[in-house]
Amino acid sequence: MEDCLSASECTVTFVPESSQVLFNGAGRPRSRCDMFWKDEYGCNRVVLLCLGLLNITLLIIAVVLGINCVSAQQISYPNSHPASVQLMNELKHLLSNHSDVMKAEQEARNELKQATKKHAKLKVKIDKQRTVNDCYQRQLESLRKERKHLQANVTTLEGTCGKCPQEWKFFNNSCYFFSLTQKKTWMASRDYCISYGGNLVVIDDQNEQSYVSHIIKSWYSGVWIGLTDMTSEGKWLWINNVTELEQRYWIPGQPDNSGHCAVTISSPTAPWQTRYSENCRTLFVWICEMAPK
């Protein structure tokens, strides 16, 4: 290719896409700029214009997108904010509940520990009490065996000895004879009792006093008992030489000087004031007492 004399003459445009080549008036090929623009700088202005339009378009697009983003944020933020606040509140509530649960768990562990200690102490006490109860149970069983043995011995004794004669009553380890119809003097009554191996009754406790009073409740005239002051006047002795010191068993005003032998009666109104002194020759029923044979 030969050298071009000027810039206008050297301007050549190759258009690979087209198979047709256009030439200018001088016989040289023409560019696309030559076809659309008259001056040589027209092609540069087109490029600048296109770039400017592109920038303006991009700016408009950016503004529109910015406005849409702001609108979207303004629309979505008020709706999402209460939900976020609710989630935060629920989270705080769960954390608070978790703290309370942990505290309650620790308290429960402490109570369980205390209860375990109390249970251990109670178990020790129960074991000790069980040991004591076992000891008491063995003692009780031993006492039951001993009672059974004693009952067997009593049955044996009752079968061989310890019996009262016929028409005599057994009470408090003694045999008693109550004369229901016969009457004798004090000495004759005593002789009768001695003939059976006993003597006139000696009342030396409240149980015996109640028993005798109960038996003779219908014998209001009186019954001879083994009490007299014949040995020493004014000093009343039982036939076993025991001095009578209980004044409460005498009827008020007794004993007097009417006799030297004691008689007892039944007194429902004053069951302890049943004795008075009587002439020893008077005839009364009597009570004998002796040990079982």
- Name every residue whose Cβ is closer than 8 Å to that of residue 179 and which is 6 or more positions away in sequence: 189, 192, 285, 286, 287, 288
Predicted model pTM: 0.47
Burial of 11 (0-12, 13-18, 19+ CB in 10 A): middle
CA nearest neighbour of 287 among 183, 179, 205: 179
- Residue 216 included in any domain: yes
Residue 57 to residue 64: CA distance in whole angstroms: 11
Rounded to whole angstroms, the Cα distance separating 88 from 279 reads 120
pLDDT bin (cut points 50, 70, 90) of residue 183 is very high
Instruction: Look up the CATH number of the domain holding residue 260.
Output: 3.10.100.10
Residue 3 to residues 10, 27, 263: CA-CA distances in angstroms?
8, 15, 191
- Give residue-wise pLDDT tens across range 193-242: 999 999 999 998 888 988 988 888 766 688 999 999 999 988 999 999 99
DSSP class per residue in 194-213: HHTT-EE----SHHHHHHHH
CA 181 to chain centre: 70
Is 272 among the domain residues? yes
pLDDT of residue 112: 87
Instruction: Write out the residue range of the structural domain in which residue 282 sits.
Output: 169-290
For residue 35, pLDDT beyond 60: no
Q: Evaluate whether residue 129 is within a structural domain.
A: no
Q: What are the Cα distances from residue 35, in Å, to 12, 24, 185, 249?
A: 13, 10, 190, 172
Over range 142-169, report the average pLDDT: 73
Enumerate the β-bridge partners of residue 177: 288
Within a domain: 26: no
Residue 236 pLDDT? 94
pLDDT, residue 38, reads 46
Whether pLDDT at 34 is above 70? no
Q: How far, in Å, CA of 203 to CA of 195, rounded? A: 20
Query: Which of 74-88, 183-197, 205-219 is most confident?
Result: 183-197
The pLDDT value given to residue 84:
75
| pLDDT 10s digits, 111-124 | 888 889 888 988 89
In a domain, 193, yes or no: yes
Residues comprising the chain, all counted: 293
Residue 75 confidence class, pLDDT cut points 50, 70, 90: low
Flag whether 134 is in a domain.
no
Q: Is 25 part of a structural domain of the chain?
A: no
Higher pLDDT, 3 or 65: 65
pLDDT in the model for residue 71: 61
Residues in Cβ contact with 254 at an 8 Å cutoff, skipping those fewer than 6 apart:
275, 276, 277
What is the total count of domains within the chain? 1
pLDDT at 178 over 90: yes
- What single letter denotes the amino acid at residue 14? F
